[in-house]
Structure 1
Amino acid sequence: MPAQAQEHTGTRIREQRRLARLTQRQLADRIPYSYSLLNQVECGARTPSDRFISAVAEALGISPTVLTESEATTSLQRERLAVLMRPIRESLDLYDLDPLPRPDRRPVPTLAADADALCQRVRATKLRRAAQELPALIIDLTHAVHTTPSTAAWQALASAYRSAHDVALKVGYRDLATVALDRMGWAAERASDPCLAAIRHYKRALGHDRSEHDLGRRLIQLGHGLLEGETSREALAVAGQLHLGASAVAARCDDAAGVERHIAAARELADRVGGDASEVHWLSFGRTNVGLHEMGASLTMRSFDQALTQARALKTLPPSTLTSRRARFLVDRAVVELETGHPDAALRHLAEARRAAPEQTRYHPRTREAVTGLLHVARRTPDSLSHLAAWLGM
């Protein structure tokens, strides 16, 4: 068994043992293996055999796959997601084809309004409903741009593709999210809409990890280039969001100076825009979002004490904060509280995130990170933590 897999299995055994509220000694007493071996497996010093894993699973009353499954979702969750996402994938593949006509096809003004409403639903984290509505919307808009092309139709199609990207990314379908972004660029180019095109580059930049810092930076610069000479409130908000994206890219490379520079530029643009501009392409750009990104950058750079100070300075988020951003903040805050020695506060923030945006919170990778950390530090596992872990499929 590869080293990474055995470390994962040992970690999963420890998590499941704690969920069962057993000490190592108590679990060892239930299996035909020694306490010493169990201890070494949990800390990754020994490779567990298949028989050992089966014995532990039987003692805990769970399937052995729970101890060896490396994905963030259960098999049942993945099957349900596959059924939900397959029609979206198929609709994205129609981009260069004129879909078969339907008698109930909607006119372009209605489609544009529906695309905007769907984007709003995604921001409200109603992901399942949005995913169910997306395929028909994309198909109707694809037919419209092939038969009666107009700027409004291309803009609406670009917006629908953006929503497809956001839904796919939030539920862990990164490959599909990448395809949707490509389609968004294709439609935004034909709409001659620099703001939509710049938003696409912002999202592309966030899709690259630490090792691709230069690529992320170049994509942000490309977005700014598209907005050169644009002075509308819409363009200022998009430019500000690009700076926030640049701060996230810099944080992944521990570039504190870059983070500070881009946060300052974003804050200046937020002051020029005035208030929060969530109505501009549903970006949620404004003073509040600048503060949220500043805290998120500190978290990414593992400056946990600084992140906690910044999180507490934000206090109560304004009612206008989009649900998706509010839930993301709560999950980030939970990780920060955990890392600074406040597990009770971390669990409270996770529970609040779940109430605010259950679908988004379930699939957010930091949710699982925080719950795993709580399981490791808890002397006893409270019911609320056990229920949260079970809800995540742990």
Structure 2
Amino acid sequence: MPTPTALEAGRRIATIRRTRRMTQADLARAAFVSLATIKAIERGARSPSDDTLDSIAAALAVDPSRIITGSTRTDGRVHASIPALSAAIAAYDVPADVPPPTLPQLATAVAQLTEWRLAAQYARIAEHAPRLLTRSLTALHLCTGADRPRAAELLAATARSADAVAYKFGHRDLSARLIDLMRWAAERTEDRIVQATVAYVRTETFFAARAHAQGLTALERAIDAGPSPIGRDTTAARGALHMRAAVIAGRAENPYAAKHHLAEARRLSSTLPEDSYNGTRFGPDSVKAHEVSVAVSLGRDHIQTALDVAEEWTPPDSMPAERRSGFWIELARAQVWAGRPDDAFESLKVARSIAPQHTREHPWAREDTATIRRLKRADAESLTAFTEWIGAV
């Protein structure tokens, strides 16, 4: 018999879903759960687990507490998982006493984790990553021969997804340790594309330390050491490094380097379809999104470039949620600088609708929301609600 809590949660989910003009199938796809699960939850036949509740709330662009009163916020559960993530890598060089997974089993689990990362489903990653890190490390220690490089590649991918949680939620020391683990694993892959991907992610440590000039140097060395762009995979790997180098060059106040790397990324992307992926999405649309990122990184004198790009182009739905929401967050910053707070607020709402967890934890989104609120103190109730949701009060 359905419980009152389950019935109430189901009704709220159905009501919010309809206001979003989503079908049950739409919600199932967006939340990464089965259609049968959505139907059962909406009719009150089952209560959503914390994991499922997070995914449904993210897909509906609401806080979980809007669905179940008193539910723990996503960020609280993510922060609670950090000790387990730290423990999983503390003894990375000592095999754990756990049953070793087969590489196909491990590959399936890692692919799911990567899918959650691209969709900004951080709570799901936080729940599953500690155990998967342990299993990935065990596989690497026990594999021999041709299986060992593949196990190392899977470990690097697992650590990257875990790092997305640590970095986005402000655990920078743990993020640096996970990146070191990625580098350690990449050395054992004997794969220059994997090593290029790790160099891309390592840039986070330079962003966090505001060591932008050193980060640019590190990326340029990685480009020089990377594989030649002679095929789809190697071209995508090299192009992604140029995209990243353009952004950090902007932060380093080096417009010449920023424009050079962006031009190289644009040139390489012209030979590839958008769905090229080697750990980082690369293609013409990804480069277009980075044009906005580079313009904002270069500062207020370059915001017209960001605004011009947005006038002609917006990210397609096929682009990963994390990158799409990042585009709107960066555009909002340019709009705030341009004295367009109403447009900036609309951009932030779009970012939230795409990837709520990513938007709420993004420092620029929080800072710009606070700025908009100061500029428009007597504005609509929706701005106040948004400000409270993002924690800019």
Q: Which residue does the alignment assign to 1:259?
A: 258
Match of 1:84 in 2: 81
Deviation of 1:344 (Å):
1.7
Distance 2:126 2:77 in 1: 12
1:153 match: secondary structure: helix
Determine if contact 1:155/1:191 at 8 Å carries over to the other structure. Answer: yes
Q: Deviations over 1:265-290 (max 9, x none)?
A: 00111012x22134x22411111111
CA distance in 2 between counterparts of 1:257 and 1:335 reads 22
- Aligned residues of 1:162 and 1:180 also touching (Cα < 8 A): yes
Quick one: distance in 2 between partners of 1:144 and 1:362?
Answer: 35
Q: Determine the C-alpha separation between the residues in 2 that align with 1:129 and 1:117.
A: 10
Q: 2:129 aligns with which of 131, 134, 156?
A: 134
Q: Distance in 1 between matches of 2:279 and 2:189?
A: 18
Q: Does the 8 Å CA contact 1:206/1:248 hold for their aligned counterparts?
A: no
Deviates more, 1:383-392 or 1:77-86: 77-86
**Amino acid across the alignment from 1:133:** H
Contact 2:229 2:238 (C-alpha < 8 Å) held by counterparts: no
- Does structure 2 conserve the Cα–Cα contact (< 8 Å) formed by 1:206 and 1:245? no
Equivalent in the alignment of 1:294? 291
Structure 1 residues 80 and 295 mapped into 2: Cα distance closer, same or farther (>3 Å)? same
Pick from 316, 322, 332: which aligns with 1:324?
Answer: 322
Residue equivalent to 1:30: none
Correspondence 1:147 to 2:130 = no
Confirm whether residue 179 of structure 1 aligns to residue 177 of structure 2: yes
Q: Out of 368-377 and 145-154, give the one that drifted further.
A: 145-154
Name the amino acid aligned to 1:284: R
**Shift in Å at residue 78 of structure 1?**
6.8
Partner of residue 344, structure 2: 346
Is the contact between residue 192 and residue 227 of structure 2 (CA under 8 Å) also seen in structure 1?
no
Residues in 2 aligned to 1:311 and 1:230: alpha-carbon distance in whole angstroms: 30
Cα deviation per residue 1:168-217 (whole Å; 9 max; x = unaligned)? 11222211111111000101111111111111112223431486333212
Is contact 1:197-1:226 (8 Å) kept?
Answer: no
Counterpart of 1:390? 388
List per-residue Cα deviations over 1:65-106 (Å, max 9, x = no partner): xxxxxxxxxx9887544312221111121311111124xx53
The amino acid across from 1:223 in the alignment is: A
Distance in structure 1 (CA, Å) of the matches to 2:347 and 2:254: 28
SS for the counterpart of 1:162 is helix
Structure 1 CA distance for aligned equivalents of residues 275 and 292 of structure 2: 20
Contact 1:247-1:258 at 8 Å conserved across structures: yes
Match of 2:218 in 1: 219
Cα offset, 1:258, TM superposition: 1.3
Report the CA distance between 1:127 and its aligned residue. 0.7
| Alignment correspondent of 1:270 | 269
Cα deviation for residue 297 of structure 1 reads: 1.2
Cα 1:258–1:136 shift into 2, 3 Å: same
Larger radius of gyration: 1
Which residue is 1:238 aligned to?
237
After TM superposition, give the deviation of residue 164 of structure 1 in Å.
Answer: 1.3
Report the residue type matching 1:187 in the other structure. A
| Aligned residue among 353, 367, 370 for 1:369 | 367
The change in CA–CA distance for 1:211 and 1:276 in structure 2 (over 3 A counts) is same
Partner Cα separation in structure 2 for residue 212 and residue 238 of structure 1: 23
Q: Give the AA of the match of 1:132.
A: E
Q: CA deviation at 1:379?
A: 4.5
Post-superposition CA distance 1:312-352 (Å, at most 9, x none): 222x3222211000111111112222222222221111112
Cα separation, 2, equivalents of 1:76 and 1:160:
24
- Consecutive unaligned residues of structure 1, counting only runs of 5 or more, are 1-74
- 8 Å CA contact 1:275–1:287 kept in 2: the answer is yes
**C-alpha contact 2:78 2:126 (8 A) present in aligned 1:** no
1:97 counterpart = 2:94: yes
Q: Aligned with 2:230: secondary structure?
A: coil
